[in-house]
Each structure stands twice: as C-alpha cells, then as structure tokens.
Structure 1
C-alpha cells in the first residue's frame, strides 16, 4: 500500500518509531536529580508503563487527536510487533517466528490494521461510503473531504473520535512526557530480558538518554522547566518567572494533541495553563518543579511523586480540586494569592 497523498494537505509524512529524548534534566543543591523525558512507544504497552506510580506523566490522547490525522499515521507508520514470539505456557513468548511464518504473521497483523481502518471510516461516515475495492489511502482522502462538506448527509453515523479512534489503538504509536526522580525500579523491571520486547526496547532507549544526559545544577528557588528554552526566557511576553512555569505546564499538556513540539505561542500556552487549572486538569502542572529546601516549609524530602523536589502542582492550594474552595489560586513569589473570587489574603504554599 502506498503512502497517503499529501498534495492537498501540505502535511509532511510522519515516520514513527521507538524514540526517547531528554526534555529537561536538573539536579538540586542537595543532589536530587529530576529528569523529564519524552518517549514514543506502542500504545498497547501504555498500561504497563502507567503502573509505575512515581512517574508524573502526560500523553497523547485518543480522545483529542482527530480521526483523519490518526488514520493517516496508522496507514503511513503503523506499529508492528518487534517480533512474533511463538506460543508457550507463561508470560514470556517462545522463540520468534522466522522466514515465511514471520512474514505470514506480519501480513495478518497489517490485514487487521486495514480492517480496523475500514471500520473506523464507516463509523465516521456511514457503512458503504467506502467500498471494499477502494484503496485505503484514496478512501481516506475521500472521507476527509466529505467530513469537511457542510452538506454531508444527516443520516451519517458521524461517530466521535473518542470512540472511533479506540479501534486503532493496537496499531498506534504513543507519545508520553514523563518526569521523575526515581527510575531504578523501572529500569529493573522493564529493561530486562523477561519484559515484553516492546517495553524493553523503550526502557532501554530511555535509560540510554537518561544516562548520557548531563543535568543542570539549580539553586534554591530556580525552576526545572521542560519545553522552555532561552528564547522563551528572553521574550517580552514573559513578565515574571511564573509565566515561564505556566508556559512549561501548557506545553506539556499539548502532548495530548501531539502539538507540544509545534509553533511556539507563549500567550496561548499561558492561556491553556489557566484553562487547565480552572477545570481541574492538574497533571501537566507536575512537570515544572523547584528543589525542596533542607528545612522549614519545604520539608519533608518527599513531595508527591518526587524526592527532593516540589512540583508546581503542589503549590496550588486545593490542587486535587481547586474549585472546591471557591477560588483559583495563582503562584506569586512562592506564595499563593487568589486570582479571582474568594478572600484577598495571602495563603501559605
């Protein structure tokens, strides 16, 4: 099957594979290291990845990515297992298939991909809109044009992406932003011969990226800020350092849509941060963090998931549900003050 034509869309073809890179790497004055990594791996091992509870993470969302964009990725660069292990009792597969057997297994996997794509095309239009003889790349362009047509038939199924995209998940690549101070248990369990080959591959790449990175030494009060660079720091749009913290959180949230590495728009990132806090979507606020001081208000050593670091989220009063207290709080000089509604007095972090 050929690649999906791009003349009409102007989009660049995407080739996905196992990838890991460091987005930010910092060490506190007391020697605690905090690292933010971006990792791309098969969607079907996300559940295993998410069992590691000391990770703060955000990732691409099947509910957020448009169906046509997801279908194009599946057709151009589907996930195919690293190997097709032979069946045997237990959790580990036997020797991988080779030769004609491996080729047959791969062909069946891709045939299942094609079937899933056809069912999704039917869900977002209507059964029969794409015929069995239609080549899938051409069918996708046909469906994309039809979806944009305001005169499309009202009897279409027109199923939302939060349902339609689920059929594609076995063939998806998935991108995660993860921040942590503790990695040893992840390396031990996942970068191990007994681990499933796919999670072992990404764990090895993450470990290699982490091991080869040189963390920046931060002073008390300085911020670990993933996805913020020197051009952001010098921008006239940044009034305070807290604006940079908001930018970092907003960009980490954009991984849900796979737009975190796209065009930089500081005002839009800050606005997204504010929308997230107002609606109680707090996980992106776990990636920016400050070192925990040796005593006083900044103790104990552990704060949430991190050892020796305090995530920005932990400085939001009522961070599990900031609306429960009737006010949204904003960080200001390591204190919290009401941004709208509620009391006008200062609140301790």
Structure 2
C-alpha cells in the first residue's frame, strides 16, 4: 500500500489493478481540505464516496478542528483575478495563519455550545466545515483530465497539491495483473478486501464484492483508521444499501472486473465492468 503525503493532503493507494488488456484502474483514499471538495466533484470520470458531516460525530470533528485545522497552504495576497499568484509574506502571512487558527478555535467552541443545547450533528458540523479535512474514496480508470486541469498553475494551490500527490502516489504503485475470468476472485478489483480474504474465497467474487462495497460505503462515517467491522456486519450493511429505496448504489462503483476490450465502457469506467451494473440489474 502506497501512502504519499502532500503539503496539505494525504493519498493512499488502496487497490491498483491492470486488466489483461493493459487497462489500469485505481482506488485511492484521499484526505484533503473540505473546501476544495467541490472541485474534485466536477470530475465525472470519478466514482467516489466521501465523509459526511451528517454522519461523523461532532466530538471527532471538534477535536480535529481544534488540534489540526485544515486550511490554505498558500496565503494569497489580495489582487485582481481568480489566481492569487503573489503570496503574503513575513508578518502579514504569520498574521493570516494566526487569524485562521483563531477562527477555527471559535468555530469549535460554538459547535460545542450547539451540541450542548441538543442540536444534531448535521447542523453543528456545518460550522466546522471550513476547517475540516474530508476523507474520500475515489476509483477511476481515467485520470488524464484530472491531471491536465488540476496539476496546472491556474488551479487553486491546494488542489494542485492534491493532484500532484495523486500523480506521485500512482507513479510509485505497481498494479496487480487481472485476468479475464469474471468468476475468479483474482480477476476482480476489490478495494479494502485483504489477500487472506481473496485466498479464502477464490471462486466467490460476488461475496467479496459485497464486502468491498460496504467498506467503501463506510467512508461516509469512518476513515479506515483501524476500525474493522466483522464481515457479517459488512454484509448487513450491503443488504441495507441495496434494499433501500431509493437504491444507495454509489459504493458499488468501486469494484470491477476486466472487459474484453480496453475501449469498452461500463458506466464511467473504460475497460472494466463496474459492479454497479450487476447490482442494478439484480436489485431494481
């Protein structure tokens, strides 16, 4: 597992596969400043599940904002246009950083006050969002547009940092070769499924795809930081996701098996059949 640190982000290569056709697919776990999340969301080639302010406990968010507030890595100086090419220097930059941390501390205190009077986390956590990190699981077969737009001098510095860190992490990762046989577990791209689990179910990729689905879904309220639910709990979560109306299908977009041709499309993937297609056919 490759972990690459940027100036204000962290990128973990969770699963990196290459089809027998040569077409790669990668699943990454990203941690970055929530304020740039909307820019990542514009990339429709990405399948993603993100930490939700409606789900994560207030106390956990307050602790992060108070002790490690997210924020700018480039303190741009006021100037015309969208790009702050020139940065504050010296005393002014130190003051901007201090004001940011002071604002984070006040937001944490007001969030505590809101929690004390009984406000729900879907309200309270909104106060903290400008200072939050967000955890996002992203899977894609196509990355070129992301790098072209975001690893560019005109992009906001924080998303430049994320794009460059993603590029570096992928360059250091060696994808696992996946064969054509759909019925073999070894042919599937299955984020958060262990080698031991693959070995235990060599011809049952459907079961393991369900485990993977649940573990990708948990990005909305866990951060894969050592908390490992039991497989029976994963299966229960999977059944609740697919039994829900409307169907909660986005976590089924991270699992896939190779298609005969690298140019064949399945949803937003090329060269790989997305698990979501199978789930929608079965459960709709």
What TM-score results when the alignment is normalised by the length of structure 2? Answer: 0.90
The CA deviation string for residues 25-63 of structure 1, in whole angstroms up to 9 with x for no partner, is 111122211111111110000000100000000111111
Which residue is 1:152 aligned to?
none
Map 1:90-169 onto structure 2 (within 5 A).
Answer: 90-125=81-116, 156=117, 158-169=118-129
CA contact under 8 A between 1:27 and 1:218: conserved in structure 2?
yes
- 2:215 is the alignment partner of 1:251: yes
Q: Structure 1: which 5+ residue stretches go unaligned? A: 1-15, 126-155, 326-349
CA contact under 8 A between 1:124 and 1:159: conserved in structure 2?
yes
CA contact under 8 A between 2:8 and 2:161: conserved in structure 1?
no
SS in structure 2 at match of 1:62: coil
Alignment partner of 1:290 out of 257, 267, 271 = 257
CA contact under 8 A between 2:27 and 2:140: conserved in structure 1?
yes
Alignment partner of 2:146 out of 186, 194, 198 = 186
CA contact under 8 A between 2:8 and 2:158: conserved in structure 1?
no
1:318: Cα distance to partner? 4.9
Structure 2: distance between partners of 1:234 and 1:274? 24
- 2:267 is the alignment partner of 1:304: yes
CA contact under 8 A between 1:43 and 1:170: conserved in structure 2?
yes
SS in structure 1 at match of 2:273: strand
CA contact under 8 A between 1:18 and 1:40: conserved in structure 2?
yes
Q: Which has the higher contact order (CA 8 A, sep 6+)?
A: 2
CA contact under 8 A between 1:252 and 1:260: conserved in structure 2?
no
1:94: Cα distance to partner? 3.6
Runs of 4+ with >3 A deviation: none
Structure 2: distance between partners of 1:78 and 1:30? 44
Q: Structure 2: which 5+ residue stretches go unaligned? A: 1-6
Structure with the bigger percentage of helix: 2
Which structure would you say has the larger Rg?
1
Alignment partner of 2:241 out of 254, 258, 276 = 276
CA RMSD of aligned residues (A): 2.0
Between Structure 1 and Structure 2, how many residues are aligned? 270
